[in-house]
Structure 1
Amino acid sequence: MEFLQQNWYWAALAAASGSWLLFDFVRNQGGQGVLSPVEATLLINREDAIVVDVRDQGEYAQGHVPNARHVPLAELARRTGELEKFKSRPLILYCASGARSASAVAQLKKAGFEKLYNLRGGLIEWEKAGQPVSRKRK
């Protein structure tokens, strides 16, 4: 007890860092899987995951994950039916950085989709990881 009284700042730092780690762990386990580009590639190859690009048309035209379906976030609510046939398969959603796709994951979760994943860092991280980018129109 004397040690804690004399070194309270170290104990506070340990408690704060432990709390942050726990918070981060819980946040990433909340049914909203976050995948690295390598993990996403494995899911695509092993479980035939569907990749959905939720960026705007102009962003999509500049480059996208090969074979990605393009459903802009602004149209997602109206076009959810297009994804219904893939409800039993894993869906990997991405945008430029991961923020819009997190919103898309939440929308699809409300629509009853279960196997949803957000590509961490979006297309930016995908390219940094050396993964292929397509400029073909689908």
Structure 2
Amino acid sequence: MALFLEFLAEQWIVASALMVCVGLLIRHESAKGGPTLSPQQLITEVNQKQALVVDLRDSKEFDQGHIVDAINIPHAKLATRKVELESSKDKPIILVCKMGQHSGAAGKTLAADGFNQVSRLSGGMMEWQNMQLPLVTK
């Protein structure tokens, strides 16, 4: 450990450059899943552009509360159920998950399949609930 710290002290420029490259790589990879939207931007997209909200949580979580008119396609089943989204290929699609961890990968999958306007809810349903926005419950 002492040698590692000594290396970092002596080669701080190299270590800094490596950290910048890693940060840029992470940013680039996350951007592939589509841009992120705040809850207010999601509301605007739905109201003005008739965006489709796709909730990626499992059906149990979805039934406990979801955004109005959202459709439920669990992230584990997206590969087999993305056919359901074909009619909305040219519409804005907003992906929502619990905290934002699954929406990036789902966005990459949809973008690779030709969905042009895919974005993600920043912070997921946790952010939506923290802002005390309305939910539909069954």
Same fold (TM over 0.5): yes
- Give the residue type in structure 1 aligned to 2:83: G
- Give the residue type in structure 1 aligned to 2:36: V
- Give the residue type in structure 1 aligned to 2:92: P
Aligned to 2:93: 91
State the shift of 1:113 in Å: 0.5
1:74–1:26 CA distance, 2 compared to 1 (3 A): closer
Aligned to 2:74: 72
Q: Percent identity?
A: 36
Aligned to 1:131: 133
Instruction: Tell me the secondary structure at the aligned position of residue 52 of structure 1.
Output: strand
- Give the residue type in structure 1 aligned to 2:137: R
- Give the residue type in structure 2 aligned to 1:80: K
1:77–1:41 CA distance, 2 compared to 1 (3 A): same
Question: Hey, what's the Cα distance between the residues in 2 that align with 1:78 and 1:28?
Answer: 23
Q: Deviations 1:49-108 (Å, cap 9, x if unpaired)?
A: 000001111111111111100001111111111000000100000110011111111111
Instruction: Tell me the secondary structure at the aligned position of residue 132 of structure 1.
Output: coil
Question: Hey, what's the Cα distance between the residues in 2 that align with 1:101 and 1:27?
Answer: 13
TM-score by length of structure 1 reads: 0.77
Instruction: Tell me the secondary structure at the aligned position of residue 51 of structure 1.
Output: strand
Aligned to 2:38: 36
Q: Deviations 1:13-54 (Å, cap 9, x if unpaired)?
A: xx99xx69x948766755711001011111111100000001
Aligned to 2:4: none
Q: How many residues align?
A: 120
Question: Hey, what's the Cα distance between the residues in 2 that align with 1:53 and 1:72?
Answer: 7
Instruction: Tell me the secondary structure at the aligned position of residue 99 of structure 1.
Output: coil
Aligned to 1:5: none
- Give the residue type in structure 2 aligned to 1:116: V
TM-score by length of structure 2 reads: 0.77
Contact kept in structure 2, 1:36 and 1:120, CA below 8 Å: yes
Gaps of 5+ in 2: 1-12
Question: Hey, what's the Cα distance between the residues in 2 that align with 1:73 and 1:48?
Answer: 22
